């Protein structure tokens, strides 16, 4: 995993036996370091000698090739190149500070790097957009954050966050799925002939015994650092102050320690786990999150390989036919090399055998697999199609939730059920809760909120959801989450078609 990188850098000093350089590869010295040319760096692109450019420094990472948790291929794919953008988006700013000075082999003039030429124009565009950004209080709904994000994020960040698999049909279906479900609001209590008093409502609940102020949580989403240097730390701070739970991605931009340190007293974090091909690495991570006081594990099962995310891929066009072995490009290409492709149900038992933390199985997409997940010991089942980023034409979680309620309502008593995917309104949350979901997750909206306004954006996004959930509960006649029942929601495909055609 990416979070294992730091230990690898420290525990094995990098070899510098490529030095001294010939005079043809040098351009003088600066701050005691040799100034290298791009041509010199490009020669070091093999297992025998692998260099990378980060910022204005050049690092020899040869000895780290076979210790990298994601495998040597990730580094070799970028060896001899300027990796500043992708490195900075994936890794914590503290990583390079942890290296010894002699692990840096030289400096480079960034003005001479072709890969940085586009940065100047893009930075000017972003600066202009940032200067024109409205105050965060002007954000009325979650869509507003997305509109601002289109303008102020880097092309790389926008392509990665907004991308979905292939034709992006599943992503579009996620957004549309909530429009298929309409309310049946109640204005009277069943037991007495009077209107419901909804001045005071209670939105508190718990997730696997962990109290939360609202029935929402932050879905684990990779690389929040693409949108803001503080990355997941901003989201942790905002979620903590609002009293909601955050799921931490295995591919977070910041270290687990950074994120854990940003918690307020009593704040709960859950960790999203992709089981590593090297089980010992997974065990190490589990021990680490256990020691840091995480409250649960979200075992992700819908990503044996990553889906084809074409917006992300197109943002990094190849320069030559030889540049991208296996056709892997984009930010996503760097994320799945450590994934266990042969994940089995028996791995749930293995996981439960090495930790006492509750296990949430994330990425379930059929009623049949809900039953299997419960049968194999899941403490909770997380309905999700990965934001439409994995299998295109996979079902929306909201539709699976509806089907589960119709076909296997007894499952709701056997395990907590969560969903995410396409949630943009408090009314979406209320619909899912009425059908039996214990809590509802949001991913992209928090990435956009963080990428536009940082911690302030995260807090405002939660405020918007809280306001909308409260309003919807009052209007459907529910004073607490326990009063949200399946009878309050009906599926209406005719109304959905009419609404879609009007739009």
Give the residue numbers marked as catalytic.
274, 302, 386
Distance between CA atoms of residues 339 and 326, nearest Å: 17
Residue 105: phi, psi to the nearest 5? -95, -10
Kind and range of the H or E element at 106?
strand 104-108
Distance between CA atoms of residues 299 and 272, nearest Å: 6
Distance between CA atoms of residues 82 and 437, nearest Å: 46
Residues 6 or more apart from 97 whose CB is under 8 A from it? none
Residue 295 tokens read as: 């409250």
Residues 6 or more apart from 261 whose CB is under 8 A from it? none
Residue 341: phi, psi to the nearest 5? -75, -20
Q: Which DSSP letter does residue 188 get? A: B
Q: Provide the β-strand partners of residue 182.
A: 490
As a whole number of angstroms, the longest Cα–Cα distance in the chain is 93
Q: Is 346 helix (H, G, I), strand (E, B) or coil?
A: helix
Residues 6 or more apart from 172 whose CB is under 8 A from it? 388
Buried b (16+ CB within 10 A) or exposed e, 387-414: bbbbbbebbbbbbbbbebbeeeeebbee
Distance between CA atoms of residues 12 and 14, nearest Å: 6
Residue 210: phi, psi to the nearest 5? -95, 120
To the nearest 10°, report the CA torsion of 329, 331, 332, 338.
Answer: 100
Query: How many CA atoms are closer than 13 Å to the CA of 29, on its beta-carbon side?
Result: 8
Pairing of strands 296-300, 269-273: parallel
Q: What is the DSSP string of 110-127?
A: GGG-HHHHHHHHHHHHHH
């Amino acid at each position: 995993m990416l979070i294992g990188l730091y230990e690898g850098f420290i525990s094995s000093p990098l070899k510098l036996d490529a030095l001294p350089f010939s005079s043809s590869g040098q351009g003088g010295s600066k701050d005691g370091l040799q100034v290298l040319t791009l041509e010199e760096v490009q020669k070091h692109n093999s297992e025998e000698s692998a260099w990378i450019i980060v910022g204005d420094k050049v690092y020899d990472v040869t000895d780290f090739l076979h210790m990298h948790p994601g495998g040597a291929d990730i580094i070799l794919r970028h060896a001899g190149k300027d990796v500043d953008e992708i490195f900075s988006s994936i890794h914590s700013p503290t990583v390079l500070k942890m290296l010894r000075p002699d692990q840096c082999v030289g400096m480079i003039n960034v003005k001479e790097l072709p890969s940085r030429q586009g940065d100047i124009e893009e930075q000017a565009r972003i600066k202009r957009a940032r200067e024109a950004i409205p105050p965060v209080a002007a954000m009325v709904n979650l869509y507003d954050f997305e509109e601002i994000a289109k303008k102020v994020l880097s092309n790389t960040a926008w392509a990665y966050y907004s991308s979905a698999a292939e034709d992006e049909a599943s992503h579009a279906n996620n957004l549309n799925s909530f429009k298929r479900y309409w309310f049946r609001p109640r204005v009277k209590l069943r037991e007495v002939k009077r209107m419901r008093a909804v001045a005071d409502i209670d939105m508190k609940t718990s997730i696997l015994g962990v109290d939360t102020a609202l029935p929402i949580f932050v879905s684990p989403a990779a690389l929040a650092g693409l949108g803001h240097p503080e990355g997941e730390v901003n989201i942790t701070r905002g979620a903590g102050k609002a009293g909601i739970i955050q799921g931490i991605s295995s591919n977070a931009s910041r270290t687990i320690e950074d994120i854990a340190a940003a918690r307020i007293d009593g704040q709960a974090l859950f960790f999203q786990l992709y089981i590593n091909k090297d089980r010992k690495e997974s065990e190490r991570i589990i021990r680490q999150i256990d020691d840091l006081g995480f409250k649960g594990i979200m075992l992700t099962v819908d990503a044996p390989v990553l889906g084809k995310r074409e917006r992300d891929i197109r943002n990094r066009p190849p320069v030559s036919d030889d540049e991208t072995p296996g056709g892997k490009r984009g930010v996503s290409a760097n994320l799945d090399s450590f994934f266990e492709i042969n994940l089995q149900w028996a791995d749930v038992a293995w996981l439960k055998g090495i930790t006492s933390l509750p296990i949430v199985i994330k990425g379930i997409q059929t009623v049949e697999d809900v039953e299997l997940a419960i049968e194999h010991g899941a403490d909770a089942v997380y309905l999700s199609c990965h934001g439409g980023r994995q299998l295109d034409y996979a079902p929306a979680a909201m539709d699976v939730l509806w089907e589960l309620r119709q076909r296997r309502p007894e499952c709701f008593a056997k395990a907590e059920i969560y969903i995410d995917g396409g949630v943009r309104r408090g009314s979406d949350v209320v619909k899912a809760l009425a059908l039996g979901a214990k809590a509802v997750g949001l991913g992209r909206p928090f990435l956009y909120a963080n990428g536009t306004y940082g911690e302030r954006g995260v807090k405002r996004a939660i405020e918007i959801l809280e306001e909308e959930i409260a309003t919807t509960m009052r209007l459907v006649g529910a004073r607490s989450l326990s009063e949200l029942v399946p009878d309050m929601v009906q599926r209406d495909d005719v109304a959905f078609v009419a609404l879609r055609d009007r739009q």
